[in-house]
Amino acid sequence: MEESATLRERRRLETERRITACAQRLTNERGLDGFTMDELAEAAELSRRTLFNYFPSKIDAVLGKPPEIPPAVVATFLSGGPHGQLVEDLGELVRVILDDTEIDRERMEAGRQVVLANPRLILAVHERFEEITSDFVDMILAREGVGFGAERARLVIRLLVTIFDCCLPFTEIDPARSLPDDFTANLRAARELFA
């Protein structure tokens, strides 16, 4: 039973990724308003109904699903783990997200270029970022206490995003090193700079 659930989940993720890749390709070729959801369904080799079961709009399809952190990982973080140091533990949450996405650098760069070329997508990414930031701030405050301060928590999240962003100039990166490893190396370097 567990094996079939794992297989179903893997197929669901593959379908999500295929839809997003097709949506990004169509957006790159025709612009966000240059194709319909029917055309996206056809490109992804799905029925329209199945497409809408995955994504309610073109913008959602282009951006893909937001990252999810497994509940056990969140529970470990909220209880003060896995290392007992906030920045290190937030770094572990980011690594879990990066390890789980299984996205290669080329697809990530392609998605980034599509977003940067479309103002509506930039706005949608910003809105999504604010929602994710709010969720992380809530987790930090639940772990550290409200005395930690929401503004400090937002600052920590924005610093981590900046550290992640430093992993994206692909011309400057060792191609043998994975994205999660690049993030960890950049986090270590930032900690040394601010120590």
pLDDT tens-place values along the chain, 195 residues long: 556 668 888 899 899 999 999 999 999 999 999 999 999 999 999 999 999 999 999 999 999 988 888 999 999 999 999 999 999 999 999 888 887 666 666 777 788 889 999 999 999 999 999 999 999 999 999 999 999 999 999 999 999 999 988 877 655 556 677 878 888 888 999 999 987
- Give the whole-angstrom CA distance, residue 22 versus residue 56: 15
> Residue 98: what pLDDT?
82
> Residue 175: what pLDDT?
66
> Residue 179: what pLDDT?
79
Same domain for 155 and 71: yes
> Residue 104: what pLDDT?
64
> Residue 101: what pLDDT?
61
Same domain for 24 and 120: no
CATH number of 148's domain:
1.10.357.10
- Single-letter amino acid, residue 107: R
Same domain for 84 and 42: no
CB of 89 closer than 8 Å to CB of 81: yes
- Give the whole-angstrom CA distance, residue 65 versus residue 131: 13
- Single-letter amino acid, residue 147: G
Cα dihedral 93, 192, 133, 127, rounded to 10, equals -120
Q: Give which of 20, 28, 50 is closest to 38, Cα–Cα.
A: 50
Reported for 105-114, long-range contacts at CB under 8 A and 24+ positions apart, including other chains, are 105/170, 105/173, 105/175, 105/179, 107/21, 108/168, 108/179, 109/168, 109/170, 110/24, 110/28, 111/20, 111/24, 111/62, 111/63, 111/64, 112/168, 113/28, 114/24, 114/27, 114/28, 114/62
- Give the whole-angstrom CA distance, residue 158 versus residue 162: 6
Of 40, 64, 88, the last residue of a domain is: 64
| Structural domain for 9, as ranges | 1-64
CATH number of 35's domain:
1.10.10.60
> Residue 52: what pLDDT?
96
> Residue 173: what pLDDT?
58
